[in-house]
Structure formats: C-alpha cells, structure tokens
Amino acid sequence: MLLGAPVSWVSKKQPSVSLSTSEAEYIALSLAIQEGKWINRLRCEIMAAANEDGPDLIIREENWSCIKMTKNPVNHGRAKHSDIKYHHIRDEVERGEVKLE
C-alpha cells in the first residue's frame, strides 16, 4: 500500500514487437488493467465482507496518444497493428469498469 492505494510491480518482456511507443504503452496498459482488475476484485471481496462499497479502478496513464486510442473507437494508425487481445481496453473504458487519468 502506498498512500492508501495498492501497488503492483511486474517486469517482463512484452510478448510482441511494437512499432511505436504508443503501441508499446497500449500493450503495457492492457497488462496493467488485467493486473488492476484482479487486485480490485480482491479488494471488493474484502470490502464486501466489511459491508463497504468497492473502490473504482483508476489507472494513471501518461501517454496521451495511448489514452486517445482507448477512448476513441476509430481505427488509429498506431493501433491497427496491435493484436486483437489488447483492444479489450476500449470495452473496459466504455463500460466504466476502468477510469483512465
């Protein structure tokens, strides 16, 4: 915990080659959301046992191009070469399950 928020750190080689920094950030964001959702579900289960509301999942992303790719469903030139499995980010943001800042 750091300032009231859980911190998870993972360092691993990305499974694909990125053609741009935006694409690399997009792939890393996908992996961060997967990890964040797992931690958030765990926190929600703990808080449900204490009869409290679960927290929202907020991911802080600094790459504006990456954030724009997640919020705009248009096929961006930077993201069109990304593997389909990384595009779940758009669905998560659209449904409101994840908030990007």
Predicted confidence (pLDDT) per residue in 60-72, tens digit: 888 888 888 887 7
Q: What is the pTM of this model?
A: 0.71
- Mean pLDDT, the chain, rounded, equals 77
Give the pLDDT band of residue 78 (cuts 50, 70, 90): low
**Rounded distance, CA 64 to CA 67, Å?**
5
Is pLDDT of 9 > 80?
no
Rounded to 10 deg, the angle between the 64-71 and 21-49 helix axes is: 70
